[in-house]
Amino acid sequence: MATYDYHCNTCGKDFEHVQSMKDDALTECLCGQKGSVERRISASAGIIFKGSGFYVTDYKKESAPSSTASSDSGTT
């Protein structure tokens, strides 16, 4: 389910409507005047993290092991 923002061209009212992403966009306002509506692009609420917290080190990739052996072409 997604929340969509609409604007009524007849009464000027802005409103939100929760509907499935598969549903067609609304064509008539819910104000009772049956005005035509247009769907607006809205700013989403963003991601809300709940819990004790997230840290950079939680998902940090391990660094590649450093090679301490030097590649001296040897003296034999």
* pLDDT over 60 at 7, yes or no: yes
Q: Are 41 and 7 in contact (CB under 8 A)?
A: no
Domains of the chain: 2-44 (2.20.28)
pTM for the full predicted model: 0.50
What pLDDT, on a 0 to 100 scale, did the predictor assign at position 32? 73
| Digit-coded pLDDT (tens) for 21-67 | 888 888 888 777 777 888 887 666 666 667 676 666 666 666 666 65
pLDDT band at 71 (very low <50, low <70, confident <90, very high): low
* pLDDT over 60 at 73, yes or no: no
Question: Is the four-CA dihedral 46, 41, 9, 31 of positive or negative sign?
Answer: negative
Q: Which two structure tokens, joined as six digits, stand for 57? A: 């080190």
* Bridge partners, residue 39, by sequence: 6
